[in-house]
Amino acid sequence: MAQIRVTDLSFTYEGSFDPVLENVSFNIDTDWKLGLVGRNGKGKTTLLNLLMGKYEYEGSISTNTVFDYFPYEVSEEEMEKTAEELSQKWKSNVELWQIMVQLNQIKMDAECLFRPFKTLSHGERTRVMLAVLFSSENEFLLIDEPTNHLDMNAREIIKEYLASKTGFILVSHDRDLLDAIIDHVLVFNRNSVEVQSGNFSSWWENKEKNDNFAMAENEKHLKEIGRLKTAMDRSGRWAEKNENTKIGFDPLKEPERNISTRAYIGAKTKKMQARVKTYEKRMDREISEKEGLLKDIEKVTDLKIYPLTFHKEILVNAYQMSLSYEGSKPLFENLTFDIKRSDRVILSGRNGCGKSSIIKAVLREAGKADANADSGPDKTAGSGTLSKLNVGGTLDVAGGLVISYISQDTSFLKGTLKKYCLENNLDETLLYAILHRLDFEKTQYLKNMEDFSEGQKKKVLVASSLITPAHLYIWDEPLNYIDVFSRMQIEKLILDFKPTMLLVEHDIKFREKIATKTVEL
């Protein structure tokens, strides 16, 4: 076991005025299964890159540990190479048999090593990379969001595999994955960094208790400060009024007064002024004790949505439906389901089974332009675009349906948010308000969206959908890259407003909370 000591670590990207990390300090052990948690844009991936020595930084990282990072980079040209050839570049110090041992553990056939990398599915690529990553010893591994875009089956395999390993940092927003794997958590709070033993749920339970205590203490201090301020103001007015009586008086109205009374009045005033000073000191102490109490509070701020009510009970009806692309066998056959008002329907199944293609087919039937786009991760080899998608059986989509759609793709997000609002006829002020609640800082509004993190880009799409009144909200893997706290906000929003939804999402906790119906493919 070795230690990694990070002291006063600060880093700012070139051309940016805002530090990503500022005076960050923590100690961790290299035999931990460590989960790294924090809001989007807090510098989690940046920290991994700094540990890898990718950038220059201020402060110190003290360790004799060797690091390796997932995911490995693969260029377009390298996609033609086999995984076995690429493994020699990724980790040249290991032998093929060592990788095969790990492939067996992660439930992969060694045959995949000898196929061109481009022919592997996203889940297969992830598992091959993880097998290579863990194939050597005495390294501390940095694993950045390994389950994005993976189906439930692949997530379970990776969860089981990582649970059997030690000596890594796992960046993930999947609460189920974190709870099953990690034994320590490193948290980038709003204004501090903390390390705690346990998994995400145990940390969150402790945090909620600490936050509730901090808010109660803050309220107590506020009340005491208010009471002291009132008492101080009253004593101050008394002192001033008393002092004003020292000079000048009417002998007829105040016959008992004489010139010697001034000393008594002065002493009384001095005593009242001393009392005011005491109140000021007590106020300063209360204010000092109050400072910092709320600096790391993670309030899951309520969001709002404006769903429209459709006049029909059934919005979408599929009966013995099949989908296929020209020249390919059917993705599935004889699928029957419907979407009624207030239903939240989750499409579930392995990657490539047709989940995103169902969404595109519904969009096409509803007359949405997006239906002519490529079918994304569910697109089979050689399938082309949805213009070549054949629907068998029955797929009825109610006429006049207003749909708000989030795709998996974020690559089209370019330019400023202001320009994006103009092009998409969105209320700029409302979009900013939602993004602020999703923890966007004001400085982000001035940047081009291509400079956003993937999580921030996803939040733009979610916010755009939320401010669009619709009968049906269709979201295709909306939570990829979005931080845990924002996921909780979105969950609460859906449960509060009960919009009608059709979703593809693999986050188990999210599905368990919001789904009213699951369609298994």
Rounded to whole angstroms, what are the CA distances from 458 to 317, 407, 412, 438?
29, 9, 12, 11
- Can you give the C-alpha Rg of the chain in angstroms? 31
Picking from 38, 61, 39, 59, the residue whose alpha carbon sits closest to that of residue 51 is 61
First to last CA, the chain: 45
- The answer to whether the beta carbons of residues 521 and 349 sit under 8 Å apart is yes
The per-residue DSSP string of 62-75 comes to: E---EEEEESPP--
pLDDT at 283: 64
Segment 55-62 shows an average pLDDT of 95
Whole-number Å distance between alpha carbons of 130 and 143: 9
Lowest mean pLDDT among 264-273, 303-312, 327-336, 490-499: 264-273
pLDDT digits over 180-204, tens only?
Answer: 999 999 999 888 899 999 999 999 9
Segment 282-286 shows an average pLDDT of 66
Segment 143-164 shows an average pLDDT of 92
Whole-number Å distance between alpha carbons of 19 and 129: 31
pLDDT at 428: 92
- The answer to whether the beta carbons of residues 465 and 404 sit under 8 Å apart is yes
pLDDT band at 327 (very low <50, low <70, confident <90, very high): confident
Rounded to whole angstroms, what are the CA distances from 374 to 183, 371, 377, 387, 485?
41, 8, 9, 9, 31
pLDDT band at 350 (very low <50, low <70, confident <90, very high): confident
Rounded to whole angstroms, what are the CA distances from 413 to 117, 409, 419, 452?
28, 9, 10, 9
Picking from 211, 206, 152, the residue whose alpha carbon sits closest to that of residue 176 is 152
Tokens linked to 31: 């035999």
**pLDDT of 240 strictly over 70:** no
**pLDDT of 374 strictly over 60:** no
Tokens linked to 255: 């016959």
pLDDT band at 151 (very low <50, low <70, confident <90, very high): confident
Percent of the chain's residues with pLDDT above 90: 58
CB atoms within 10 A of CB 87: 22
pLDDT digits over 450-476, tens only?
Answer: 988 888 999 999 999 989 999 999 999
Residues 6+ apart with CB under 8 A from 208: none
SS3 315: strand
Question: Mean pLDDT across the chain, nearest whole number?
Answer: 85
pLDDT at 375: 36
pLDDT at 226: 72
**pLDDT of 259 strictly over 60:** no
The per-residue DSSP string of 168-199 comes to: EEEE---HHHHHHH-SEEEEE-SS-EEEEES-
Whole-number Å distance between alpha carbons of 409 and 404: 15
Kindly list the strands in the beta sheet with 21-29, ordered across the sheet, starting from the edge strand earlier in the chain. 21-29, 3-11, 58-62
- The answer to whether the beta carbons of residues 21 and 55 sit under 8 Å apart is no
Higher-confidence residue: 305 or 275?
305
**pLDDT of 59 strictly over 90:** yes
pLDDT at 376: 35
pLDDT at 214: 74
Whole-number Å distance between alpha carbons of 71 and 98: 19
- The answer to whether the beta carbons of residues 184 and 172 sit under 8 Å apart is no
Whole-number Å distance between alpha carbons of 367 and 380: 23
How far is C-alpha 482 from the geometric centre of its chain's CA atoms?
3
Which alpha helices (H) appear in 245-291, and where do they start and end?
A: 261-290
pLDDT at 262: 58
Segment 348-354 shows an average pLDDT of 87
Q: Which helix or strand (DSSP H or E) is residue 105 part of?
A: helix 96-105
Instruction: Give exposure, 401-419, as e/b (b: 16+ Cβ within 10 Å).
Output: bebbbbbbebeebeeebee
pLDDT at 378: 35
**pLDDT of 219 strictly over 90:** no
pLDDT band at 371 (very low <50, low <70, confident <90, very high): very low
**pLDDT of 236 strictly over 60:** yes
- The answer to whether the beta carbons of residues 470 and 400 sit under 8 Å apart is no
pLDDT at 300: 54
Higher-confidence residue: 516 or 261?
516
Angle between helices 122-133 and 96-105 (to 10 degrees): 120
pLDDT digits over 383-441, tens only?
Answer: 345 558 899 999 999 999 999 999 988 989 999 999 999 999 999 999 998 898 888 88
**pLDDT of 256 strictly over 70:** no
Whole-number Å distance between alpha carbons of 240 and 233: 11
